[in-house]
Amino acid sequence: MFKVEKRPSPSRFWSWMAPILAVVATMVAGGIMFWMLGKPPLEAIRTIFWDPLFNAQFASYSRPQLLIKAAPLILIAIGLSIGFRAGVWNIGAEGQYVIGSLTGAGVALALYPLEAWWIFPLMVVAGALGGFLWAMIPAILRIKLNTNEILVSLMLVYIALEIQSSMALGLLRNPDGAGFPGSRNLQQYPSAHNAEIWVGSSIHWGVIAAMLAVIAAIFLFARYLLGFQIKLTGSSPRAARFAGVNPNVIVAFCLGTSGALAGMAGMFEVSGPAGQVTIDFATGYGFTAIIVAFLGRLNPLGILAAGLLMALTYIGGELAQFIIGLPAAAISAFQGMLLFFLLAGEMFVNYRFVRIRKVVA
């Protein structure tokens, strides 16, 4: 007989092993799922995880895509992880991402066709500010009235999506677009285009921002008092209060920061890879980033790795759709499954199995 016992201290070994095992278990379970869909399991797994990186035919196209897909995921997930550590559950990043794309693009479209060096930086600020303000709605409601931020931030996603349709069909619609929904294409507006910084590198400003966010988060949690206070608030709210941490400041900081980063991610996306505000601009990065944050165990470097892995499943999924006809939604189910295994594996970090010895009486 075994029983589960809480470890005196979290296991270092398992905090590395748990995510790795979760990925392996997901590959196995995912393989079974693909097999049940009538797709060859090994080939599907290989197409998702191997081909985008090393297949002679596709890698040259897929590999650069990796950073482009990973950047928004990492940027949003870093912001979310700060909140999750403090027990502040912003699950409306998708909405903040959308609003950031609208405010960022809005600035550019208002200035069109002016060309100036300061337009792009202004768009970054506007995108961040848009996401920040959208996230401050649940923050202020939680601080002032103790309203549940989970539900409010989530409802705001649906509202943001409606605003997005309204904008794509109305205010931000391309006046020269012959009545089609969608804004002007920012890729054709040099001052506002989030282009590759070095040709062929696929590194745009969003990638740089994601890297900076990772580095900042590392310092925040390793050395900065505020980072310690955030962890303390999440780990033991009452002890944090006793330590002199103002919970309202933490809520505002966590929601504000994650909103600003999500907004920024939306702005980098709309001015770069997407190019324009459309009805279906939002593709769920804000939700997938939740998986990324947990898969990275809320650790900045972990999130970096998890973001790349998740981007890989996106690209690999598209490839698998193209080559073996795997349904696009299979990848979402696959990602959800990954989160299941990860959460299950988390137990081994904090608990252990001990043998119950039976002594014959």
Partner 1 sequence: MTTPLLRLSGLTKAYPGVVANDDVSFDIGHGEVHALLGENGAGKSTLVKMIYGLVKPDAGHMMLNDTRFAPDKPSTARAAGIAMVFQHFSLFAALTVAENIALGMENPPKMRALAARIKEVSQQYGLPLDPLAQVSDLSAGERQRVEIVRCLLQDPKLLIMDEPTSVLTPQEVEVLFGTLRKLRTNGTSILYISHKLEEIRTLCDEATILRLGKNVGTCVPRETSAREMAELMVGTRLHQPERHTRDMGADALEVVDLSVAATSQFGTALRGVSLRVREGQILGIGGVAGNGQDELLAVLSGETLSPKGSIRFQGNDISRLDPTSRRALGVLAAPEERLGHAAAPDMSLVENACLTAATRQGLAKNGWINWGKTRQFAEDVIARFDVRTPHAQVAARALSGGNLQKFVIGREIMQDPRVLVVNQPTWGVDASAAAAIRQALLDLAAQGAAVIVISQDLDELLEITDDFAALNEGRLSVPVPTAGLTVDQIGLMLGGAHGMEQAHV
Partner 2 sequence: MDWSAINPAFFIASIMVSATPLLLAAIGELVAEKTGVLNLGVEGMMITGAICGFIISVETGSPTLGFICGALGGAVLSLIFALLTQLFMANQVASGLALTLFGLGFSSMIGQGYVGIVPPDVPKLMEGADLSAFQRIALGHDAVLYIGLLIPVIVWYVLKYTRLGLVLRAVGEDHEAAHALGYKVIWIRVGAIFFGGACAGLGGAYLSLVRVPQWTDGMTAGIGWIALALVVFASWRPLFIIIGAYLFGGVTVLQLNLQAAGSTIPVEYLSMSPYVITILVLVLLSVLQKYGLLRAAAPAMLGRLFHASN
| Interface with partner 2 (CB under 8 A) | 4, 6, 37, 89, 91, 141, 145-148, 150-152, 154-156, 158-159, 162-163, 165-166, 169-170, 287-288, 290-291, 294, 327, 329-337, 339-340, 343-344, 346-347, 350-351
Q: Which residues contact 220 (CB under 8 A, 6 or more apart)?
A: 82, 226, 227, 230
Nearer to partner 2, 356 or 359 (CB): 356
Looking at the Cβ atoms of 269 and 346, the one nearer to partner 1 is 346
Question: What is the smallest separation between the CB atom of 16 and partner 1, expressed in angstroms?
Answer: 18
Give the H/E segment covering residue 355: strand 351-355
Work out how close the CB of 345 gets to partner 2 at its nearest, in angstroms, rounded to a whole number: 8
Cα 84 from Cα 346, distance rounded (Å): 15
Residue nearer to partner 2 on the CB measure, 6 or 358: 6
Distance of closest approach, residue 297 Cβ to partner 1, in angstroms = 14
Nearest distance, CB of residue 119 and partner 2, angstroms: 28
The least distance separating partner 2 from the CB of residue 214, rounded to whole angstroms, comes to 21
A 10 A CB-CB count for 307 gives: 31
Q: Which residue number, 34 or 221, has a Cβ lying nearer to partner 2? A: 34
Report d(CA 206, CA 213) in Å as an integer: 10
d(Cα 232, Cα 247) in Å, to the nearest integer?
Answer: 10
Who contacts 179 (Cβ-Cβ below 8 Å, separation ≥6)? none
Binding site for partner 1 (CB under 8 A): 6, 8-10, 223-226, 228, 231-232, 235-236, 238-244, 246, 354, 357, 359, 361
* CA-wise closest residue to 74 among 282, 258, 221, 232: 258
- Look at residue 242 and give the partner it binds from partner 1, partner 2, none, a contact being a CB closer than 5 to 8 Å depending on partner kind: partner 1
Minimal distance in Å, beta carbon 233 to partner 1?
A: 10
| Closer Cβ to partner 2, 80 or 245, answer by number | 80
Which of the choices partner 2, partner 1, none does residue 163 contact, using the CB cut-off of 5 to 8 A by kind? partner 2
In the bound complex, what is the minimum distance in angstroms from residue 5's beta carbon to partner 1?
8
On whether the CB atoms of residues 293 and 303 are closer than 8 A, the answer is: yes
DSSP-derived letter for residue 201 is S
231 binds, among partner 1, partner 2, none (CB under 5 to 8 A by kind): partner 1
Q: Which two tokens stand for residue 260?
A: 């600003």
- Say which residues have a Cβ less than 8 Å from residue 122's Cβ, sequence separation at least 6: 107
Peptide bond just before 181 cis, omega within 30 deg? no
220-227: long-range contacts (C-beta < 8 A, 24 or more apart)?
A: 220/82, 221/85, 221/300, 226/253
Quick one: 239 or 347, whose CB is closer to partner 1?
239
**Kind plus residue range of the DSSP H or E element containing 3:** strand 2-6
Distance CA 115, CA 104 (A): 16
- Minimum Å gap between C-beta 159 and partner 1 is 33
Return the number of the residue (128 or 160) whose C-beta is nearest partner 2.
160
Q: Measured from the CB atom, is 192 or 330 closer to partner 2?
A: 330
Residues near 218 by beta carbon (within 8 Å), at least 6 away in sequence: 300, 301
Q: How far apart are CA 176 and CA 294, in angstroms?
A: 44
* Partner whose binding site includes residue 232, from partner 2, partner 1, none (CB under 5 to 8 Å by kind): partner 1
